[in-house]
């Protein structure tokens, strides 16, 4: 029996050595180590052995099994490695070939301008606030000193959804919402970018849906000087150090006094040309000191607190900055237009 086991081991090891494929190796495993294999067969005859010989044979049989298993495992690893080698050799990549360029998209010009404005104000300590686009009449108008039936509501033609709900016509309702949250305690220092909607007829400078960025500062001792200084920094950073600003008296129900801000025309430098209609100035935003009624309605003591607010249209700012002549370019998604802003910064 001992002889038989040794012969089986030698035969198996030789076959394993000669195996060239994983399948052949598996066949050998089944043939020699399987339940119906010759080693099992030999072990079945152990009953006829003497009690002394039986453990010796058992141990030998285990040694033989182990030797065969080990050899199979080593060979399997070698065959697998060879298979990988072969595959790699057949799939060699020519690293000298030029790569296929990856098409990189770019930010929409409007997104760029909005992010630039956000960064600028964040740098001055402002927080970014947001509010709903479907807004309550209360926040869009009433809390901003525009009670129902007020004639100044006609300044902004609105899309009403129900009597009390509308698509917000400006970002100023975020002012009212934010102040309300502060429960009468300053300081408040926010900007709110977002979409707004008006029943305006679309033309080169008007869109029925556009963006606005609102700014609001409320604290003790805030003055018109703070407003002017802030807007000056904004204009110079946005359009260039050589640009000047001026504030013109205007009217908004939620600010008193109210102003509109002009900057010197980039084209003529203030001399007067057809872009600025000969005035040397271009209007870019509305602003003013927060009306005491608005402060009081939001829970602030208007004797203690004052504030300023401003609201601008980033489309108009982007048009001025990049010399774009029609607001509709922002919304028609013409790739030829959008590609012009693919500058790597
Ligand atoms: C307002 O909407 C005020 N809420 C701004 C404000 C805020 C004033 C805080 C005072 C204090 P106005 O209607 O002027 O103001 O709009 C502000 C800006 O939005 C305009 O300067 C313009 O740039 C832009 N804008 C207005 N209507 C349109 C439109 N139909 N299409 C594109 N941009 C527009």
> Which residue's CA is the nearest one to ligand 1's atom 21?
285
The pLDDT score that the predictor gives to residue 345 is 47
**Is 256 labeled as ligand-binding?**
yes
Please tell me the distance from the alpha carbon of residue 251 to that of residue 263, in angstroms, as a whole number.
19
In this structure, are 122 and 204 located in the same domain? yes
Domain shared by 53 and 137, yes or no: no
Looking at the CA of residue 215, tell me the nearest atom of ligand 1.
9
The predicted-structure confidence for 178-221, as pLDDT tens digits, reads as follows 999 999 998 999 999 999 999 989 988 889 999 999 999 999 99
Centroid of ligand 1 to alpha carbon of 65 (angstroms): 88
Strand partners, 283: 262
pLDDT tens track for 96-112: 988 888 888 889 999 99
102 occurs within a structural domain = no
Q: Is residue 180 part of a domain?
A: yes
Highest mean pLDDT among 53-67, 131-145, 273-287: 131-145
**pLDDT at position 37 over 60:** yes
> Does residue 103 lie in a domain region?
no
The SS3 assignment for 145 reads coil
| 196 and 52 in a common domain | no
Length, in residues, of the chain: 345
Query: From edge to edge, which strands make up the β-sheet containing 165-167?
Result: 134-136, 165-167, 159-160
In this predicted structure, what is the pLDDT of residue 180?
A: 95
* Residue 315 domain-assigned (yes or no): yes
Beta strands in 79-150 (DSSP E): 127-128, 134-136
**What percent of the chain lies above the pLDDT cut of 90?**
50
Residue 324 lies in a domain: yes
Q: Please indicate, yes or no, whether residues 328 and 210 belong to a single structural domain of this protein.
A: yes
Last residue of a domain, one of 38, 62, 90: 90
> Residue 147 C-alpha to ligand 1 middle, in angstroms?
19
> 41: domain range?
2-90
Mutate to test the pocket of ligand 1, among 210, 308, 314, 327 (most ligand atoms within 8 A of CB): 210
Residue 101 lies in a domain: no
- Asked if residue 147 and residue 269 are part of one domain, the reply reads yes
Q: How many domains does the chain have?
A: 2
Atom of ligand 1 nearest to the CA of 313: 23
Ligand 1 first shell, C-beta below 6 A: 170, 172, 198, 200, 206-207, 210, 212, 214, 252, 255, 285-288, 309-313, 315-316, 327
């Amino acid at each position: 029996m001992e002889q038989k086991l040794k012969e089986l081991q030698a035969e198996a090891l030789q076959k394993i050595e000669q195996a060239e494929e994983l399948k052949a190796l598996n066949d050998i495993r089944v043939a020699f180590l399987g339940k119906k294999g010759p080693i099992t067969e030999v072990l079945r005859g152990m009953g006829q052995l003497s009690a002394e010989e039986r453990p010796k044979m058992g141990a030998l049989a285990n040694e033989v099994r182990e030797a065969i298993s080990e050899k199979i495992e080593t060979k399997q690893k070698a065959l697998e490695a060879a298979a990988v080698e072969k595959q790699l050799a057949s799939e060699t990549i020519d690293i000298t070939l030029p790569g296929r360029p990856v098409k990189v998209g770019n930010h929409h010009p409007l997104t760029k301008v909005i992010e630039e404005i956000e960064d600028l104000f964040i740098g001055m300590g402002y927080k970014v606030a947001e509010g709903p686009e479907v807004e309550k009449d209360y926040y869009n108008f009433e809390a901003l000193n525009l009670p129902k039936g007020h004639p100044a509501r006609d300044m902004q033609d609105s899309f009403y959804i129900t009597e009390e709900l509308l698509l917000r016509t400006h970002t100023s309702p975020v002012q009212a919402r934010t102040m309300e949250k502060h429960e009468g305690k300053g300081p408040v220092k926010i900007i709110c970018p977002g979409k707004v909607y008006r029943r305006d007829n679309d033309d080169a400078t008007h869109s029925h849906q556009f963006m606005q960025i609102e700014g609001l500062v409320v604290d003790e001792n805030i003055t018109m000087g703070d407003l002017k200084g802030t807007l000056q920094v904004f204009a110079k950073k946005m359009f260039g150090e050589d640009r000047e600003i001026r504030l013109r008296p205007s009217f908004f129900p939620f600010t008193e006094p109210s102003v509109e801000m002009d900057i010197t025309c980039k084209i003529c430098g203030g001399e007067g040309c057809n872009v600025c209609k000969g005035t040397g100035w271009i209007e870019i935003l509305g602003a003013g000191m927060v009306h005491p009624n608005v402060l009081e309605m939001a829970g602030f003591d208007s004797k203690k607190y004052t504030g300023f607010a401003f609201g601008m249209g980033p489309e108009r700012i982007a048009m001025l900055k990049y010399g774009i002549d029609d607001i509709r370019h922002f919304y028609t998604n013409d790739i030829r237009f959008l590609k012009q802003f693919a500058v790597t910064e």
